Amino acid sequence: MLESLPVQVEVAVQDCFFEAAGLDAPVSEAEWQIWFQQWLKALAPNFLQSPIFEGYPGVAEHQEYELSLRLTNDAEIQLLNAQYRHKDQPTDVLAFAALETDYPQLEDMAEQPLYLGDIVISVETAQTQAQQHPLRHELAWLGAHALLHLLGWDHPDEENLMLMLKQQERLLQLVGLQTERLQSYYHEAHPKA
């Protein structure tokens, strides 16, 4: 049964912001690891039903996952946003879901961790958005948002946006973070997200 199996996740954190500036990161690599593991454990019973996993045999048996998280600045995320979304401006977070593209399925892939994709967060934009709450909460909010995108969630309309924001709120509460101001701020800052 899925819930009884332990969920494992390997998060490769690339800190190109705090380390470069000689600053202590508000979220440690170990905390990111714990957060993503708790989030995936909570989401696992449902996310495997997502259409993004169609065509991937054995995905329901996966209990090990990998993803990368890059903490960067506005200049780098603007380059990525221009290249991949054709929007030449910084943004707070980008998610590149590995399972949105076809790749060869090998027989032993079910034995390997399932690579979910890449998350890139602009710490500069996160700092701007975190004026009314701690930066660590903003980073967690953006990480949870991007994880949901990696798992096939999207927000093309108000109804789906609200469902996604409620799920993000639930994920942050799982790791002991308050979310009241985050959700209202996100909704005000992204009225057509």
* Residue whose structure tokens are 């943004």: 91
Please name the helix (run of DSSP H) or strand (run of DSSP E) that holds residue 165, with its range, or none. Answer: helix 158-174
110, 61 contact by CB (below 8 A): yes
Mapped onto helix, strand or coil, the DSSP state of residue 90 is coil
State phi, psi for 120 to the nearest 5 degrees. Answer: -125, 125
Is 145 within any annotated ligand binding site?
A: yes
152, 159 contact by CB (below 8 A): no
Is 137 within any annotated ligand binding site?
A: no
Give the strand order in the sheet containing 64-72: 8-15, 64-72, 114-122, 93-97
What's the chain's Rg over C-alpha atoms?
16
Is 149 within any annotated ligand binding site?
A: yes
Q: Which residues are annotated as a binding site for Zn(2+)?
A: 145, 149, 155
Binding residues: 145, 149, 155
